Amino acid sequence: MNYKPNEMMTIAAARALRNSDVTFVGIGMPSAAANLARLTHAPDITLIYESGTLATKPTVLPLSIGDGELCETALTTVSVPEMFRYWLQGGRITVGFLGGAQIDKYANLNTTVVGPYDKPKVRLPGGGGAPEIATSCGEIFIIMAQGKRSFVEKLDFVTSLGYGEGGDHRERLGVKTKGPTKLVTDLCVFEPDPVTKEMTVTSIHPGVTREQIQDATGWTVKYADEVAETPAPTEKELTVLRELHARTARAHGEAA
C-alpha cells in the first residue's frame, strides 16, 4: 500500500509503545500514535490525558484535553492537581509522548515563542503540562515533522527539558528520569547517544536519503554505527490509522 510521510511517522511512533505502558499523551500527533498503538499491537496500554482522564479509549481523536470523548470513554477522571501530583510526579507514568514547535540536538523542546521572548515573531500556546511531563515520566517519546524551522541549532526558548547541554547535564540538574529515548520524524528515528546524549539517527524511513535528513536539520546530523531501515507500514497499520482519522473527520468536521 502507498503511504504518506506523516503516516510513516505516526506508525513508527506507535510501534515504540508497549502493551504494558502507562502513557501521558499530548494532543495532535502524539494522540494519533498512542491510539493507533492501542488499536493494533497494544490493546491494554493505559492512556492518560492532562485533563485527568485515566485509561481512556476514545473512538475519535480529541481536539483538546477537554474533549468529552476522553472523559466518556475513561475508566475514571481525576482532578488535574491529583493527575500531576499523584500520577505524574509520583512516578506512575512510564512514557510521556510529546511534540513541539522547535527541538535542538539534545531534545530540548520549545512550545513558548519563536523569536525574542519580549517581542516574538510567534507566540505559541506555551508549556501546559509538558515541562513536568518531560521530567517526571519514566521516558519521553517525541514526534515531530522534520524541517530546519523546527530542528534548530539553538532554541528561542527552552520550554521542556531534554538533555540540557548534553552529557550528564540532566542528572546534574537533579532529574532522575531517563529523558527522551526516541525522536520520531517523517524522515527517520533518532535516539540519544549513550555518552553525549546528542540525538543520533538509528533508523531511516524507506526511500529517504541522508541528504534529505541533513537538509531538514539545523545542526550536523550524526548517525549510529549501524543504521536500520524503518519497516514500511503494514496494511493493517495503515487501515486502522486511516479509519481513525476518517472517524475523527466525520465527528469534528473542519475542526479536525
User: Catalytic: which of 7, 50, 132, 198?
Assistant: 50
Q: What angle do CA 22, 24, 30 make, to 5 degrees?
A: 115
- The series of mean pLDDT values per 10 residues for the chain, 256 residues long, is 95 98 94 97 96 95 90 95 94 95 98 94 91 97 97 97 98 97 98 98 98 98 98 98 96 74
Question: Phi/psi at 61 (nearest 5 deg)?
Answer: -75, 135
242-256, pLDDT tens digit by residue?
A: 999 999 999 887 666
Instruction: Estimate to the nearest angstrom the gap between the alpha carbon of 4 and the chain centroid.
Output: 18
The reply to whether 237 belongs to the active site is no
Side chain identity, residue 157: F
pLDDT at 253: 77
Alpha helices (H) along 97-163: 130-136
pLDDT tens digits along 63-101: 998 888 999 999 999 999 999 999 999 999 999 999 999
Q: What is the pLDDT at residue 213?
A: 98
- CATH number of the domain that residue 33 is part of: 3.40.1080.10
Mean pLDDT score of the chain, rounded to an integer? 96
Secondary structure class of 145 (helix, strand, coil): coil
Q: Which domain holds residue 88?
A: 5-255
108-to-62, 78, 149, 254 alpha-carbon distances in Å: 26, 29, 15, 32
Which residue type sits at 250?
R
* pTM for this entry: 0.94
The structural domain count of the chain equals 1
